[in-house]
Structures are given as structure tokens and as C-alpha cells.
A and B are shown apart, each in its own frame.
Chain A
Amino acid sequence: MNTKLLVNVLLLSISLMLVIGCSERVHDQKIPIEDFFDKPDHSNFKISPDGKHIAYLGLEDHCKNIFVLNLENPDSSKQLTYQNSMNVQYYFWATQDTIVFSNSESYKDSLRLFTVDVHTEEIRPLLAPSKHSLDWVKPARAFNGSLLARMNRRDSTIIDLYRIPLAGGEPQLVDENIHDFKEWFVSSDGKVRLALSSDSVEDRLWYREEEYLPYRNVLETDFSSLVYPLGPLKNSKQNVYALSNRGRDKMAVVNLDLETGTETILAKNDDVDMNGDGYSFTRQELLFSTAYNKKKETVIHNEQLKHIYKTISSQFEGNSVDIIDVDSSFQTVLFKTYTDTNPGGIYYYYKGKIKELTPINPALSNKKLPAMEEVAFDSRDGKHIKGYITYPLEKKDKYPVVVLVHDGPNRRDVWGFNSEVQFLANRGYAVFQVNYRGSVGLGKNFYVSGFKQWGGEIQNDINDGVAWLIHKGIADKDRIAIMGTGFGGYSALYAACFNPTLYKCAISSSGYINLFAYFKEFPPYLNSYKQLYYKIIGDPQKEYELFKAISPLFHAEKIRMPILMFQGGKDRYNSMTDVNHFVQKLKSNNVPYQYVLKEDEGRRFKKDENIVEFYQTIEKFLKEQLK
């Protein structure tokens, strides 16, 4: 007995030593860039209406093709399309037997839509290839043999509503767009009764009892409020589920009476906006609701689903479980698990059993990665700002910091697995993300307080966060870099012009250089859209002084810190003439700069080799500058 115990203790200590030895080696392990940005081969999983199949896009012949997984009988799973020169860009289950897919390369490409029969694999064109735009009315599925879509078929500048017969044939015009409608919403019977118009500042909801009746304006919102219908309520024509922040700061899921405009709150969060992803059209019911608080919080409203969710969650202790799709009979649940340190995977639950469909990033699944911590600080004017910090695994007294500013500004950083953050942390930098004012999802007031604060309070929030990090003794004040894409890049370049002492260097990826040019991206015929941006940034004609003051292009000669600039040639918000001038100015001022132009990329680099080069360049640049 005693000897056995001794042996056990010995074995335990040996294994402990092994573990410690391993984990120590993990600390300085440099993970290759490719591993961080590896994309799974299988994607776009969708459950069939009957819940017995899952379709997905998989790589075959170097092209994305549709595959169908038979859950009942896995042996009869099959590949549905056999394209070898074009990717399937997107697809959806139109009916139980038919899948609609597109292989257009980009929004500029002509429309190429097809239907494929799940059983016979017969592919037929849905529409004759044409040059206009097309957006599916959600939920994208067939009602009485036809699909609802918004198209500018009649007049390239006007988007109308059409029914497209699934069997092929001419689309039929449902509604001419007379009220500047942005979106239509379908009722449970396939009829369209509800529409949303917007001049970008004020939204209006339009309602009609039947399709032959005219629309009536039933609801208006001001520029900061939003009402967005999610779908019809069971057995009700005039009540819908909607996301709304009318009369309150945070977005809630409500039951909206279209006739009276009254709302009944179904789900809300005191800290953050609710998301609208838990509504099921087939059941016409709010199954669950989610919100990005400290972590993503999921509340299941349906008792039956709650039970299933509990079963699933218990299998993934410590992981976040996001429901992706669920069929109407709760046979099948498609879900994703992850933590901040593990990219996780996509799984399905079928009749009580859980199976993995694909890991998100298998190269990272066994690696030890640092956690993402939520932090909060007060900006100089007392505004409470939240952010995230990810420390490198190797503990130090003070860290070199990379401030990663999110794009937008009307977006936000959320807790979860972030490859870019993990890459930087793995290279030894503490990564600091700030949800500066103007970020969305944190309430109306917070969003509105970022209006006209580009380069102003928004920049102050970021800088104050950095000052707070220095004050807390976390950041090494001589080794702080600021980087970002789009608005984040703008913020980095702005910091290069106006905060030369706080940051050591700046990295911009297609950062906005000239806000006059940024504004020009809204074509004159979309004047209505400009209203919102007049509020968010300003009016370039009336407030040109402000525009000059906050556009980096006008202040390039102030820059002395090292700059790394990436630019996608197809980025629409920067004019290449401006970028060239900006770089020219850096050059003539002998600023140490590096400029990488990729002609066929957009704002964010998409091609694998460009992504690798992007991060390689960043790694080298940071290594040199934050020595």
C-alpha cells in the first residue's frame, strides 16, 4: 500500500515536472503567422428546413462548392455542386429540396444565380445573368414557390421589390419604391406588409394590411433611435418582434404593435444593446436573445431549447456557446464554441448527440494563448470607457503596448477569440483595445457622444486609455505603438500628427487620410445618406475648417514618428492621389516610413499571401521600433 502510494506520488511529480517544463517552453514559443490567420476549409453551415441536413461550403478543385451532410444517414452525404473555376459565394435553403446559390465574384460583377436540386443535383439558372444589384428579403426562403428580392432592375437608381419564381422565369414587380424604402419585411404567409424607409437620420416604418392597399406611415424615429423589425409574431398581423431603443438608452428586443406604436420589452440588458439573432422565423418566436456584455451573454427564452442548450453547455465547460442555427422542431442545433484563448469550433447537436463539424483554427487549438481582460477607465471628461487588454504570456513589469483601434467608428470590440490580438500578444506586446465613444452596442448616448468627435474626444478616449495604462505601470511609456484599419488607421495617423510624444510609432492600414475624400464616397444622388454623416463627422462645406483640422493629409508635415502604411488600391475611402501626396510629404520630411500598396485589395487585405505579408511587415516594424 505504502509503496504504491510512493510510486503514485513519484509518477505525479514526474508528470508535474513534465507539465511545468512544457508550459515553460510554451512561453517563448513563437507561433508562425500563418497559424493565426488560417481559415477553416468548411464554412457557411446551414440547417435544412426539415432539420435533417446541414449544408456547407467546402473546398473542392480549389473552389468553394456546396456539400450536404445527411444527419440521419451520414453515408448519403454528398457534394452538391462541382464548380472548378468559380467559388460559390453564398447559398441558402430556398425550400427543403432546393438550394439557391451565387457565384458572382464581387458586387461589381454581374448577377449569376442558380438553383440546385438537393436530390437530383440538377443546376438551373434562377435569373438570366444581368448587371443590376440584388438583395434578398430576409428570411431568404421561398414562399409559395417564389423568392422576395430587392433589385434595381427597372431603374438603376431605384431599388424595387420583386418576386422571383424559383422555377425560373421573369421576376414580378411587387412594390415600386415610392417612399425611399430601404427594406421590406415579409409576414408569415409570404405577403409583404411592412417596410422601412430612411433618410439615414430618421427612420420610418410603413405598414399595410394587405398587398393591394397603400402603405401608411406608422412610426418615426429620430436620428439616434432605431426600430428594426425582426419578424412577425405568431398569429398576429399587426404585432412584430423588433429591436428598439425608442425612449431608452439601450437597445431591447420588443414586441411592437404597429398600429399603436406601443412596445413591450421582451429582453433587455442594462449595460449594452441587445442583438436580434435569437428570433426564429419558422417558429415566429423569440427563442433566445444575446448581448455583448463582458462576455457574450445568451438567454434562452424557449423552455425546450433551454434544456438542449444546458446539455450542450455542460459539454463545453468554460466555453462560450453561440447558437448559429436551429431548426423549427429543435432536432438540430448548429452552434459555435470558443473562449478568448481558444478559437474553438463549429458543432451540431442532433437528436441528443453532439458532433464537431470543423475546428475554426486547428493550428492554434493546442497552443497556450493569453487571456483577454476587460478593463475600464475614465476619460478626461469623466466618461466611463471600457476596453480590453491582452498581456503576452511572458510576465514583465512593464509591457510594450500596441493600441489596436477598431474600425468604424460605428463598430465595437468584443470579448472573444481575436487572431490579430493573439498574434501581437504572441510577439510580446500587450494589446490594448478601446471601445471609445461613438462605438456602437453600448447605448444610444455613448454612440451619440462620439458624433463630431473625430480627432477630438474619440482620440482623447484612446489617449487617456494609454495614459491610464502608463499610470497603472502596465505600459512602458517609451514603447507604445498605435495601429488600426480604416478609422483605426485614421486614428493612428492622427496620433502621428498630434500626439507625437505618447506613441513611438504608428501603423495605418488604409486609414482615412482626407475626410473630404472620405465624404465624397457618398455619391450626390445618395444625398439623404449624408445627413447622418453630417452629424457623425461634420459638414465638409460648412465646417471645412474642422475637416482641415482633423484630416491627417493637411498635417503630414508635422509627422516625425516612424510610420508604417498599408493601402488597398480598391479602398474607396481614400483617393490614391491623396495617399501618394501624403507619402511624398513623409518622404520629403525624412520621416522613417514604410509604404505597402496592394493594388487589388480593398481596405482590409483578404488574400492569404497578402495577409501574411501584412503581419510580417508589422512584426518587423514593431520589432525595430519598440526595441
Chain B
Amino acid sequence: MAKIDSRYRKNFGLLLVFLLFVTLLFVISVFFARTITSNFVQTDFNNRKAEVFDETIKDFNEFFQEKIPEVAYYQGFMDSVQAKEFSSTVLRKYPFVQKIEFSDIVFTNIDSAQRQMRIGNFGASSKSSYQYQLSADYRLQSTKQTASGDLSSNEELYSVFLRLCTWLGRDQIDTTKIANTEIYKLFYNIQPGKISYLNIPRMTDILAFRNMMIDANYQKSVYEQDFYVFYILPTKMQVKNKYTNLYEKVSIKPVVDQYVLNEDVYLKTEIALPGALSEYKLQFESSQNHISKEINKKFFPVVIILILIYLILLSLGYLIYRNVLTNNRMYQLQYDFINNLTHEFKTPVSVIKIAGNNIKSAEQLSDGDRAMYGRILDQEADKLNSLMNKLLSFAQIENKSIKFNGEYIDLKEFSQHIFESTRIKYPDLELQTRVRVKDEIYADPVLLTSVFQNLIDNAYKYSSPSKRFLEINVEQTKKNFVILFNDRGIGIDKKEFNSIFKKFYRVKNQFNQQGSIGLGLAFCKEITEFMGGEIKVESELNVGTSFTLVFPTEVKNG
């Protein structure tokens, strides 16, 4: 016993260490998780800005890549009416376009006073130019520029024209196509805040321009072209903050910002805007509070998961502990069983030994003595035999090696037989019986007898001598045979209802000190279930116990 006790103590120590270790692990992982989350959020703060940037300049890109080239679709055929219509859609759709200047220009080699720019024989002049703008109440305002034809004032057009002429004047130009980079260089002029665009002429037109420039005798021609200047105000772009959780404030700021940083800004990053927007940048800011909130939000699920893992580990520990306890109880039960069994065997054996000694030492044995010793020996041998039978049959049932010798039994006759033998066995037991059955039961008579015997024995054993009473009712319902054993014994605590059918379990009370090995009820349950029935118990302490056996009337053979 001492050994076992020490083992318990060692178990607790291990558990304690386990508990401490797991807790420590939990605390450390929570700490690391917090640090990693914090780092993660800060990295995110720096990385996600590209997505916000993309979203924000999406409209601008659409305008630049799709809307502006639409001018070229018209191949120079645009006049003020079309330009007004076009400008109206642009100004309304893209609020960052502040103002649009449109010039209906011609490229020609005809000498005229109108022509203001000239390289070789190739010249450009503006037929008319207009300015379009949205008023405060979103109406399109169109103003015709007065200095018509005066191209020197139009520096945008001037620079595009110059570049085109420089390119046309080159010795070697590919006469089949213009490369994309050339197109960008020649027909776009992008400055911060402004995009100028000359409608891209067809290749044949470009060759004609070249000929006009080089060849003085070239056929006098006039080519219409359209020229646009779009004034861009990046601050009017709509910032699309996809990650409000990360960025508290995203704003479009001039690249050069002389003012001192806002002190309460905890994290700050920026990204430069491209092309015509390059005077401005996209600035991302967040306060400490905002970032902490985000960190906590990200951290929360991590902590939940860690707690869960912790709890699982703890419950695992508990389960192991419980398992150890159960094993220990089993050990004790077996230990008790051996104790009891030894005791059970010891009494008849010592009685036999004493009887034997007495017979041996007696010089003369009277008839009465002989009969007495014979009865004693016979009785004790029976006791031993029944004990061994019990053990043996139980073991057989456990191992499923017993055979079910089923037959149809008339319960009236069968129970009458048992009642009679009981009355003989326990003359001081008040036995009330009632048998009301129609059909025969299909069962093994030997096994059924031992179930009856066990229950009757228990009723007798666990009753105070004054209350030895047993009522046995054998009835038949629609589907079942119900056999009720009702005593007025000491009763069983409800807590032990589950345990009483377990092997080697004994309720602890004064009637149970000796002569019980804790197998009776377990044996009954096994046999009943083996025969296809079931056993139930109801009891109240100090009032009585009733066991109910239920067997089905219709037995499936098997």
C-alpha cells in the first residue's frame, strides 16, 4: 500500500511540472505572438500602400490610357462642337481634370499669314482654340481663346511640334510603323500638372508631313490635327483607402512639404505619384492608438487559438490524471477481491479442517456427532463448490465461452420450484409471490435460476433480520416478461446505481464485511444481457430495493 501511495505522490509532482511547463509555454508564446503581430502590422503598413496607390490612381490611368487616345479615333476631324462634347464627358467623369484646352490645328505647307510655326516648308497653325472648364455649379464653360493662330503663346503645342519636326527631319525613319516609345515621346507631352496630346496621325500622314518638310515641291496640302492640353489637379483625385484599419489618414500632398511633421503621428509612409501627377505624393499616416487597435484586432484571434491549445493541454493532463486514478481503483478492487475471496475460502476450509481434526482426535464418535460432522463437511464442501462455480461461470461468461442452452420454460412451474427451495433455504424470509404469465419463456434454465438465486440471496443478505421481506412478481406485458424483485432492505444510494453492476464492486455497509466478492450483480447483469434481457434497479436508502428483469417474449433465435 505504501508503494502505491508514493506512486500517487510522484504522479502529482509530474502533473505539477507539466502544468507549470505548459503555463510557461503559454505565456512565452503569447508574448512572441504579440511581438510578431506588431511587426506584421508595421510591415503591412509599409507594404499595403501600393494597393491603395493603385486604387487611387486607377481613374487617372483609365483617363490616361483609354480616354486620351480616344482623341486619335477622330483622326483630326474634331471641331469645337465635338471637342466640347468630349471635354464635357472628361471633365465630368474625371474630377481631377481641372481645365481642358483644345486647339483645332492644321499642318500645312501652304504659305499663309496664319501659319505661326514653320520648320522647312512644314508649318502648323491653329484654326481656333477653346478652353473648357466646369463652373462651381457643374456647368460646362467654354471660352474661345482670342489670340487665334498665335502659336508662340502656346508653349505646349510649340514643344510637341518641335519634337515632331526634329523626328521627321531625321535621316532614317522607319516608314512602316512608329514604335510605342516614339509615340509616347512624340505625341504626348507630360509635365507636372499638364498632359498635352496631339492626335496620333496615321503612318501615311506622317510620311506626308515628312515630305512636306523636306520637299519644297510637295503637293500643297492641309492636314487637320487636334491638340489637347489637360490640366490636372491631383488633389482632386479621390483617395480610395482600402485599408482604413491600417491607414488612419491618406492624403495627397505636394512633394515638397516644408512644415514640420505632426508630432502625434506614430507611423508614416509615402509614395510618389507618377507622370503628370508628380508634383504630389500620396501620404499615409496613422497614430499610435490606431495602430494598436489594429495590432490588437490581429492579435485577438491568435490569443484565442493559444488559449485553446493551452486548455486542450490542460484537459489532456486531467485525462491522464483521471486514467491513473481509475487504474488505481481497479487495482484496489482486485486487491479487495483477492482479500475477500481468500476470506470466503478460508472460512469453509477452516471449518472443514476443524471438523476433520475433531473427527481425527475423537476416540469415539457418536451417531449424532457423525451426522453433525457429515452435514458440516457436506455443507462447507457445497459452499466451496458454489463459490468455485460462481467464479468459473463468471469467467466463462466474460470470455464468451459459455453456451446458451435455450429452451421454452413454463415460468409458473419454474418459479414455483425456486420459491419452494427458497422457503426451505431461508425460513425467516417473508416471501410473497405472484405469477401471471400466458406464454413460455425462451431461456437457459440453469442461468435463469442463478439470476433468481443471486437476487433472492441479495435480498436476504442486505436486509436487517427484522425486515426480511421479498416480493416477487412474474408478469407478462405485450412484448415482455417482467420479473420484479422487491425487498425492504437497506437500499442502495442512487450514486451507486451505476457501480453496483461492476465487477468486484461492493457497496460499503455493515452487511458486506464478509462473504461477498462483488460479483453477484455483475454476474446477473452479464447473464441477463447474454439471454437478451435487461436488468434495472430502483432503490431508496433504508426503504428497499427493487430489481426488474425484462425479457422479450419474442426471442430471435441466435
Interface of A toward B, CB cutoff 8 Å: 155-157, 514, 516-517, 519-521, 523-525, 540-541, 544, 547, 551, 553-554, 569-570, 572, 575-578, 581, 585, 599
Contact = CB atoms under 8 A, between A and B. Distances in A.
B202 A575 contact: yes
B183 interface: yes
A157 B219 contact: yes
A578 B217 contact: no
A551 B218 CA distance: 32
In the A-B complex, the 6 residue pairs with the smallest Cβ-Cβ separation, listed nearest first, are: A524-B221, A157-B219, A525-B219, A516-B75, A575-B202, A540-B77
24 contacts: A157-B218, A514-B73, A514-B75, A516-B74, A517-B75, A519-B75, A520-B205, A523-B221, A524-B222, A525-B220, A544-B78, A553-B73, A569-B177, A570-B176, A572-B204, A575-B200, A575-B203, A576-B177, A577-B69, A577-B72, A577-B183, A577-B200, A578-B72, A578-B73
B208 interface: yes
Interface in B191-213: 200-205, 208
Contacts of B79: 541, 544
A516 B75 CA distance: 6
Nearest to A516: B75
A525 B215 CA distance: 15
Interface string B215-249: 10111111100000000000000000000000000
B29 interface: no
Given A520-B201, A541-B79, A576-B203, 17 more contacts: A156-B218, A517-B75, A517-B202, A520-B75, A521-B204, A523-B204, A524-B222, A525-B219, A525-B221, A540-B75, A544-B74, A544-B79, A569-B177, A575-B72, A578-B72, A578-B73, A599-B177
Contact of B217 (A156, A516, A523): A156
A56 to B, nearest CB: 34
Given A157-B219, A520-B205, A524-B221, A581 B69 contact: yes
Contacts of A581: 69, 73
B237 to A, nearest CB: 21
A354 B534 CA distance: 116
Contact of A569 (B176, B200, B208, B217): B176
Nearest to A570: B176
A2 B204 CA distance: 83
Interface in B65-98: 66, 69, 72-79, 82
Interface of B: 66, 69, 72-79, 82, 176-177, 183, 200-205, 208, 215, 217-223
A319 B183 CA distance: 56
Contacts of A514: 73, 75
Nearest to B75: A516
Contacts of A570: 176
A525 B204 CA distance: 13
Nearest to A581: B69
A520 B73 CA distance: 11
B222 A551 contact: no
Nearest to A547: B77
Contacts of A516: 73-75, 77
A95 B204 CA distance: 39
Contacts of A540: 75, 77
A521 B205 CA distance: 8
Contact of B77 (A541, A572, A578, A585): A541
B104 to A, nearest CB: 11
B148 to A, nearest CB: 19
Contact of B82 (A524, A544, A578): A544
A551 B77 contact: no
Contacts of A577: 69, 72, 183, 200
A355 to B, nearest CB: 45
Given A572-B204, A577-B200, A524 B223 contact: yes
Contacts of A525: 219-221
A547 B73 CA distance: 10
Contacts of A520: 75-76, 201-202, 204-205
A516 B77 CA distance: 7
A292 B217 CA distance: 45
A551 B73 CA distance: 9
A262 to B, nearest CB: 39
A563 to B, nearest CB: 19
A551 B203 CA distance: 20
A523 B77 contact: no
Contacts of B217: 155-156
Contacts of B215: 156
A577 to B, nearest CB: 5
B397 to A, nearest CB: 73
Contacts of A554: 73
A569 B174 CA distance: 13
A595 B76 CA distance: 27
A517 B74 CA distance: 7
B477 to A, nearest CB: 72
A599 B177 CA distance: 9
Contacts of B220: 525
A523 B223 CA distance: 8
Nearest to B65: A584
Contacts of A572: 204
A557 to B, nearest CB: 10
Contacts of B77: 516, 519, 540-541, 544, 547
B533 to A, nearest CB: 70
Contacts of A157: 218-219
Contacts of B200: 575, 577
A551 B75 CA distance: 12
Contacts of B201: 520
A521 to B, nearest CB: 7
A553 B75 CA distance: 12
A295 to B, nearest CB: 40
Residue among B77, B78, B82, B221 with most chain A CB within 10 A: B77
Contact of A523 (B66, B69, B74, B208): B208
A581 B74 CA distance: 13
Contacts of B73: 514, 516-517, 551, 553-554, 578, 581
A570 B203 CA distance: 10
B453 to A, nearest CB: 85
A31 B174 CA distance: 42
A177 to B, nearest CB: 13
Nearest to A513: B73
B321 to A, nearest CB: 63
Nearest to A576: B177
Contacts of A553: 73
Nearest to B221: A524
A599 B176 contact: yes
A110 to B, nearest CB: 15
A124 to B, nearest CB: 31
Residue among A517, A524, A544 with max Cβ neighbours from chain B (10 Å)? A524
Nearest to A600: B176
Contacts of B183: 577
A488 B75 CA distance: 22
Nearest to B76: A520
Contacts of A599: 176-177
A544 B204 CA distance: 22
A540 B204 CA distance: 18
A576 B69 CA distance: 13
Max chain A C-beta neighbours (<10 A), residue from B78, B202, B204, B217: B202
Contacts of A569: 176-177
Nearest to B79: A541
A570 B219 CA distance: 23
B188 to A, nearest CB: 13
A557 B158 CA distance: 35
A49 to B, nearest CB: 39
A577 B76 CA distance: 14
A156 B215 CA distance: 11
Contacts of A517: 73, 75, 202
A578 B205 CA distance: 15
A577 B180 CA distance: 9
Contacts of B176: 569-570, 599
